[in-house]
Structure 1
Amino acid sequence: MRRMNHYSPPKINRKTYAWSVRAFSTVKRLLGVNIKLHADNNQVQQGHIFLFNHFARFETFIPQYLIYQEQKAYCRSVAASEFFQGDDRFTNYLHAVGAVPNDMPNLLSFLARDILCGKKIIIFPEGGMIKDRRTMSSSGDFSVFSPTSEERRKHHSGASRLALVLDIYKRVVLEAHNNDDMHSLKLWAEELGIANVETLIARCQEPTRIVPSNITFYPIRISDNFLKDSVERFTGDLPRKFSEELLIEGNLVLKHTDMDIRMGKAIESTLMWPWWDQLILKKAIEGMSGLNDLFAMGSQADSFLERIAAQRLRNKTEELRDQVMQDMYSLVTLNLSHLASALILKLIDDGVDELTQSTFLHILYLAARYISHEEGVYLHRSLLNAETYRDLRDGSCAEIQQFFKSAQAADLIAIENNSLSFLPKLKDEHDFHDIRMENPICVYANECTPITGVERAIERAMDNHLNIPGKQWAQYFYEDELHSFEQSRQQFTHEDYSEINAQQTATKDAAPFYLSPNGDKEHKVGVLLVHGFLASPAEMRGLGEELADEGYSVYGARLEGHGTSPCDLRERSWHEWMSSLELGYEVLSSRCKEVVVVGFSTGGALALRFAAERPNKLAGICAVSTPLKFANPNLVFVPLIHHANRLAKWLAAQEGVLPYIINESEHPDINYKHIPVRALHELRQLVDEMENNLQRINCPTRLIQGDAEKVVKPESAGLIRDQMVGTTPEVIMVPATRHGIITEDIGATRKHIIDFVDKIDAK
């Protein structure tokens, strides 16, 4: 191979590049976008050519920033030539930060030279923004719509050709190295701007690696924003294309949006060449004069061998291009809106235009569970977080509410009472520039179409949702709670919480438990056990095992914030504790004809407040050591301290004047050692809420109270009974100076509870 042609490339200005990175870091903090890079296999360090899909304009600045943050490596990026026309200052800036136009002469040989000099290359093979996310043709091939030519076309193959030809060049260099051709090696190193031959050899010994990468946004919002309004106020009505871009992309940037950037396994282009192709190429490139000639191979082929080599190169380029595209689109970070959108379009294809909202949510819940078992699928936090997708069952999931709101705003669906209707607009064809605003459901569904596991999960959910027995539903819900507990526990093991966590003494298993009846007999009644403040389900485990031995299905709920860290409890409200009770109730309701709720202390207050709503299947309440009056007179100051904490945190961004109080627990192996003042405030609010609703309770109730305990004033049981005018509660006072009468089974407390459950079950 002879001397390569000389050219003067635009140089990266390191000062400008570093300034741009710092500026973007500042802007990033002000934006509503949460950028998360998923690159677990050293892809940033090892990769040479990074390929990204393209959905929004601003994302073209993100990869360079992330790669520099990870490796302090400089990147070349290929941008549309239109950006380099006009203002010389802007063109110079683009060159300074590594951008080059896509119509640059000898572009691929220039990029190959930069790779050999240690730079990274960023390419968007779709060639432009793919607003509709439609990447597959009707025949199942990868292709995209070009708004310029107004037709579908294959993806650009320049990145694949760059990698393959660069590998050919590397072979030539290594061949010269094997032949001790130092003259050529020194000449090539000098022309490339590489310091010495050793560095050139080391670079050529590395296989060229392409890293397919995928950028996924969640959620896609279509509501108006002040950016669009401001531009229209000063410029008048914008053309539809630009108005849509400001609307969608303004929402992506200025409102809370997750931007997941996932890098796949690096593809080594050297593996594309079998030995016979290597022989053909070796003969064909003899006499070529450098990188420019190598990239021009076949354009004016003089020999039969060169024409064959050029054809093989074209074939391998297309093969590598298709492999990279398949990998790039398989890296979508699947979220709840993807599943919901794909499910809607599947239902429409099956001729379903209307169904109950609860049915839709149950199918979606199952699909969310099933997709987690599909191989090669990457899940967004909305599908990984059990606290999110478990709420699909009753529609309280914030993510699905946001999805429904957006779809209703676009006139794609209608919701009335429990009926969900799919509107005709869902089936309409939309202009390429309008579809993100007019039909985001189609955009979501298009994006996940390449993931075959999505279709399998949805079909399986649709087939199974009517045939799953109650016991299986109960098992699913229980698994969700275990998953949620483990995620919360892991979250609060972070070093930010280590000081408080290191002082905790609780060692008992804090997970929720689900006990099936022992023996052949199974009662119609299930029993939900709800633990007390600062404790965990371990507090109720002994009672639960005795009930299971008696033939009852038993679920021990874990109140949010408990069993993990006092720092977790500090962030929770009593409404979240109530949600934990309700989730446990749903587990048992799926399996049992009736449910009795047994609550201890704070759990008793929650049980009584829950009973005031008169839920279906509730057969009775047993509230033990339930607070109405507290023995500690200092609790009257809790609201004052709580609000002082809030003020101090707001003024000084500190923890507050008194965030925690030391707890002298009867059972340090179960309870937190530190009491968050905010949690005490929530407890006071719960007790007030319970008291205000006692008169609404109409189910059988038994109140059990220690007659001389030191936490709850013993007269609380009588005061609660007197306000329960809708039923006739039993009150049992047991001889006890201790609060934890269930855990220690003082005064035969457990027998009193089991007798009450037996009485309910016998009715």
Structure 2
Amino acid sequence: MNPFAYRTTGLAIKTIAGLSRARLNIHDAERIPNGPTIFTVNHFTRIETFLLPYHFHRLTGRPVWALAASELFVGRFGRYLEQLGAVSTRSPDRDRLMVKTLLTAEASWLIFPEGRMVKNKKIMEKGRFMISYAGGKHPPHTGAAALALRTEFYRQRLLDLMDKSPEETQRLIDLFQLESMEAVCRQATCIVPVNLTYYPLRARENALNRLTELLVKGLPQRVTEEIITEGDMLLSGVDIDIRFGQPIEISDYLGSKRIQKDIRDPGRIGFDDALSSRKHMRRAALKIMQRYMADIYRMTTVNHDHLLASCLKKLPVRHIDTDNLKRRVFLASQSDKATSGYFFHNNFEKDQVHLLTDDRYRHFSEFMDFAIEKCVVKNRGTSLEKDPARLAAMFDFHRFRIDNPIAVIANEVEPLTRLQKKISRLSWLPEFWLRRKVARLLLRRSLDDFNRDYDAWADPKVSKPPSIARPVLIRGDRRRIGIVLAHGYMAAPAEVKGLARFLGKRGYWVYTPRLKGHGTSPEDLAACRFSDWIESMDAGYAIIGSLCRRVIAGGFSTGAGLALDLAQRVPEVAGVFAVSAPLRLQDIAARFVPAVDAWNRMMERFHMDEAKKTFVDNNPENPHINYLKNPISGIRELERLMASLEPRLPLITQPALIIQSQEDPVVDPKGTGRIFKLLGSKDKQMVMFNFQRHGILLGEGSERVYRTIGNFVDQIGNAPLLKPATAEASPEKNEGENLLERSF
């Protein structure tokens, strides 16, 4: 290996990285042992041949040489690969060189056990590993295992014969061109399985492909496909997850008496001589190969595309309801990361409820746009029409990544049997059970989240009883319309429970979520961002959306702002009502925020953290519900929520009801008027009540507000009622029932 080639490659890769939008995520690199190491890696792209040795070298500090396809060793590029440490698969001295460099641990090796690029990612056939290629199929190669066994065989033989047979020891030293026995590594040989997962895979025509066609005429189809696929990865942005598995210690496979007899034989054994234990060695190589192949593909990093492609492939129908597909993918994403047996892309670290609301990260919509582009599905409005033949069709092997990428994506997770079984079950689940499963999961999770937060944050001296803050579901006797109803800032679901019961008596399902940071302690609220409240609201929408055909969003104060935010982001929301929405605050705490911020910055500059003011006193109208301390950071988050909402108000087109108290001491009624004016809804109304308080959903006259909201909901849900399902509660059990405490 030429060190200059490594440095040159480093510069080249840095240059490519500057042009590329690819993001490298390395997992469990600490598993790489210090001794002789062979990396076995799944092979999907040509660029892996020179990118991986460089990155592995940076991780280990040792040169990493690679076996590369013989057709690459042509002309100047071939000579460059040789300088870099790549060895042709047809090199006559290949095995001896590899064993020698491993014996001394002067270099590690990178081998692709499939023997070639697996462009269609089809590596399973009837439950067994079987590699597809242009000429047909073949089992994975055992070359990496055989090489590791030979290395460990000679390492143990040299150490064993060092004193017993100096003549044979010297012959082996000369054979492998070792300086002395001191050069032989005392650590055992290991194979480290490595998985590479690319996300997203979007093979399209790109600038690199067009430039190459201009410069080089008549490119072979195979080369064109590789430039399109791999150029798109580099230019359009792709996550590359490199995951290292547990090292496989090869000495564990050399324990048979026959192999140990050959290791200790003092006689001459040539490098190419047939060993008496060759059958045992072959069996050991096969076992090792099966182990590293299973480990490699078990470590595939599961992403949204995998779940969507697998669901499309397994769904037994042509016409697919879009919302139900989202529910299936959502449920597939909810595996326990610690016990599932597979690994998830870091996108799954976020709450996945966005799949059921606004798809704000565009995981669903971008995949579907790509599937439509590739003619796998057709958009039929609220449903999709799948072309099963397109998913199952066999294309030219070298065009597979371009012509049938959805099948490629589905093939990649085929070896993950537990995931496949889960997706199969979800794909056959009827809509009723699917909706029920989503609702139960989210309801249980909301209760678990509350219990965990309450245990972590509650202070017996100041915190309210859990019953004040626990989220509540009121069971209705119709599934046509349901309401997600959010409470206000520093409050809890008990604040809107009266309205929820009123609507429940009218037959509506109502869910009152607990906004993150509420119902526990002010310190918990101080640690939250308004995005946390949005996720709480989204979960509420997903629950009601799974129980009812249409959803109305409503809320009080901050909850009103969240309801308007939800209506803007999710066009499927049937209507929205907002009570005392806080576009402009006029209470004294809000006025103090700029001054307190300035004070805190000054104290931070002088390293006087103890002098910072993080809370102001709160004198609520309902002290049995609200916090008595108001976190400054919480007021700031509330203002950020409303600032982000204001320019989006014209985008809200659903029927809307705005309610405000004329003499609200907290919310400026002028701000409420501005909300009404900015709303893009054609069907909108504003109702002012002559109250002198902020909390108009509790206390004297609150039923007048309830009736106004009830009439608004009735107008939207004026269609004939659906017959209640047998699993629903009877109407007399509706009022105030907390579904989280019993099954349904």
TM bucket, shorter chain: 0.7 to 0.9
Aligned residues of 1:35 and 1:260 also touching (Cα < 8 A):
yes
TM-score (norm. length: structure 1): 0.73
Per-residue deviation, 1:469 = 7.3
Closer/same/farther in 2, CA of residues 471 and 702 from structure 1, 3 Å limit: farther
Aligned partner (choices 365, 373, 389) of residue 401 of structure 1: 365
Closer/same/farther in 2, CA of residues 752 and 458 from structure 1, 3 Å limit: same
- Match of 1:656? none
Aligned residues of 1:335 and 1:379 also touching (Cα < 8 A):
yes
Tell me whether 1:603 sits opposite 2:547 in the alignment.
Answer: no
Distance between the aligned counterparts of 2:213 and 2:261, measured in 1? 61
SS at match of 1:626: coil
- Match of 1:365? 330
Aligned residues of 1:361 and 1:395 also touching (Cα < 8 A):
no
- Match of 1:378? 343
CA displacement, residues 385-441 of structure 1 (integer Å, 9 cap, x when unaligned) = 444564156766612212222222222221121231223433322111111111111
Closer/same/farther in 2, CA of residues 544 and 270 from structure 1, 3 Å limit: farther
CA displacement, residues 701-741 of structure 1 (integer Å, 9 cap, x when unaligned) = 65346x363x5335656787899985473515235xxx7x5
Tell me whether 1:683 sits opposite 2:633 in the alignment.
Answer: no
Aligned partner (choices 339, 346, 349) of residue 314 of structure 2: 346
> Which runs of 5 or more residues in structure 1 are unaligned?
1-11, 299-305, 487-505, 639-660
RMSD: 4.9
Alignment of structure 1 residues 361-760 onto 2, 5 Å: 361-370=326-335, 375-382=340-347, 384-388=348-352, 390-392=354-356, 398-423=362-387, 424-468=389-433, 472-478=437-443, 515-516=471-472, 528-530=484-486, 539-543=491-495, 554-556=511-513, 558=515, 581-591=537-547, 599-607=555-563, 621=577, 623-624=579-580, 626-627=582-583, 665-666=616-617, 673-674=632-633, 680=639, 683-684=642-643, 686-687=645-646, 690=649, 696-697=655-656, 702-704=659-661, 707=663, 709=665, 712-714=667-669, 726-727=684-685, 729=687, 731-735=689-693
Per-residue deviation, 1:684 = 3.9
Aligned partner (choices 31, 37, 45) of residue 20 of structure 2: 31
Aligned residues of 1:163 and 1:209 also touching (Cα < 8 A):
yes
- Match of 1:301? none
Per-residue deviation, 1:461 = 0.5
CA displacement, residues 115-148 of structure 1 (integer Å, 9 cap, x when unaligned) = 12222111112222111111123x433222343x
Per-residue deviation, 1:74 = 1.3
- Match of 1:277? 258
- Match of 2:293? 325
Distance between the aligned counterparts of 2:61 and 2:337, measured in 1? 35
CA displacement, residues 309-356 of structure 1 (integer Å, 9 cap, x when unaligned) = 222222322232222222222222122222222222223xx4x33333
Per-residue deviation, 1:526 = 7.1
Letter in 2 for 1:734: Q
Aligned residues of 1:528 and 1:557 also touching (Cα < 8 A):
no
Letter in 1 for 2:366: Q
> Which runs of 5 or more residues in structure 2 are unaligned?
452-461, 595-611, 619-626, 714-733, 736-744
- Match of 1:501? none
SS at match of 2:379: strand
Closer/same/farther in 2, CA of residues 514 and 246 from structure 1, 3 Å limit: farther
Aligned residues of 2:168 and 2:268 also touching (Cα < 8 A):
no
SS at match of 2:398: coil
Closer/same/farther in 2, CA of residues 460 and 704 from structure 1, 3 Å limit: farther
- Match of 2:158? 173
Tell me whether 1:230 sits opposite 2:206 in the alignment.
Answer: no
Closer/same/farther in 2, CA of residues 563 and 44 from structure 1, 3 Å limit: farther
Alignment of structure 1 residues 89-238 onto 2, 5 Å: 90-118=77-105, 119-137=107-125, 139-147=126-134, 150-177=135-162, 179=163, 197=181, 200=184, 203-204=185-186, 206-238=187-219
SS at match of 2:273: coil
Aligned residues of 1:133 and 1:446 also touching (Cα < 8 A):
yes
Aligned residues of 1:297 and 1:310 also touching (Cα < 8 A):
no
Letter in 1 for 2:312: I
Higher mean alpha-carbon deviation, 670-679 vs 401-410, is at 670-679
Per-residue deviation, 1:26 = 4.2
CA displacement, residues 605-625 of structure 1 (integer Å, 9 cap, x when unaligned) = 443576799988979846136
Distance between the aligned counterparts of 1:16 and 1:749, measured in 2? 82
Aligned residues of 1:117 and 1:192 also touching (Cα < 8 A):
no
Letter in 2 for 1:287: G
TM-score (norm. length: structure 2): 0.74
Aligned partner (choices 247, 255, 267) of residue 287 of structure 1: 267
Per-residue deviation, 1:227 = 1.3
Closer/same/farther in 2, CA of residues 513 and 387 from structure 1, 3 Å limit: farther
Alignment of structure 1 residues 60-99 onto 2, 5 Å: 60-87=49-76, 90-99=77-86
Aligned residues of 1:526 and 1:594 also touching (Cα < 8 A):
yes
- % of aligned pairs identical? 23
Tell me whether 1:265 sits opposite 2:246 in the alignment.
Answer: yes
Closer/same/farther in 2, CA of residues 241 and 557 from structure 1, 3 Å limit: farther
Per-residue deviation, 1:68 = 2.0
Aligned residues: 664
Per-residue deviation, 1:80 = 2.2
- Match of 2:731? none
Aligned residues of 1:386 and 1:480 also touching (Cα < 8 A):
no
Per-residue deviation, 1:560 = 12
Letter in 1 for 2:544: L
Closer/same/farther in 2, CA of residues 485 and 427 from structure 1, 3 Å limit: farther
Per-residue deviation, 1:484 = 11
Per-residue deviation, 1:464 = 2.9
SS at match of 2:92: coil
Letter in 1 for 2:150: V
Distance between the aligned counterparts of 1:629 and 1:590, measured in 2? 35
Aligned residues of 2:486 and 2:515 also touching (Cα < 8 A):
yes
Distance between the aligned counterparts of 2:22 and 2:564, measured in 1? 43
Distance between the aligned counterparts of 1:485 and 1:73, measured in 2? 50
Tell me whether 1:297 sits opposite 2:273 in the alignment.
Answer: yes
Distance between the aligned counterparts of 2:408 and 2:568, measured in 1? 44
Closer/same/farther in 2, CA of residues 522 and 666 from structure 1, 3 Å limit: farther
CA displacement, residues 239-270 of structure 1 (integer Å, 9 cap, x when unaligned) = 32222211111111111111111121211222
